[in-house]
Amino acid sequence: YEKDINLDIALLVGNQLKSYGYKVVYTRTSDSVSWSNDNTEDLQMRCDLAKKKNADLFVSIHLNASEYEANGYEIYCDFTNKNTVKLSNSILKQLDQLNYSTNRGLLDTNETPLYVVKNNKVDAILIEAGFISDDSDLYYLKNYTNNVATAIAKGIKKSLNE
């Protein structure tokens, strides 16, 4: 399931960031969550948690799917926010080094609004790490999860250190 791979990547990214000395707060660490069944309320609770914890960044990790032939990774961010554009480009550069799929680039959440980016008081991005509907992407994401997580963590670290 997408949610299982997402969670694995997120936990590994968090562990890597902790090893760099960063404080990490997760919106979930298992499937046992107390979020609302209402999608908008659920997403708002995640945004509220980032603000409550005084987070510097909000990174949402997902996997894409398509009924059409598609592969690759992409990152959604607010193009008017220099911090999130820099962060996103830094992560994309790290993912590029893995050579596991196609870099589909940055997508502007002003054109394609995503709740956790658009309604967040914290600098936020949403990473689509690959397509679970593509056999090659899925194979890499399942078998080399640590590589993807390390690339994301390195991208975050490099962006914060610049």
User: Which residue type is seen at 46?
Assistant: R
Do residues 13 and 62 lie in contact, with contact meaning Cβ atoms separated by under 8 Å? Answer: no
Using the 8-state DSSP alphabet, how is residue 32 labeled? -
What is the maximum span of the chain, computed from C-alpha positions, in angstroms?
Answer: 41
d(CA 35, CA 45): 7
Q: pLDDT tens string for the chain (162 positions)?
A: 788 899 999 999 999 999 999 999 998 888 766 555 678 888 999 988 999 999 999 999 999 999 999 999 999 999 999 999 999 999 999 999 999 999 999 999 989 989 999 999 999 999 999 999 999 999 999 999 999 999 999 999 999 997
The pTM assigned to this predicted structure is: 0.94
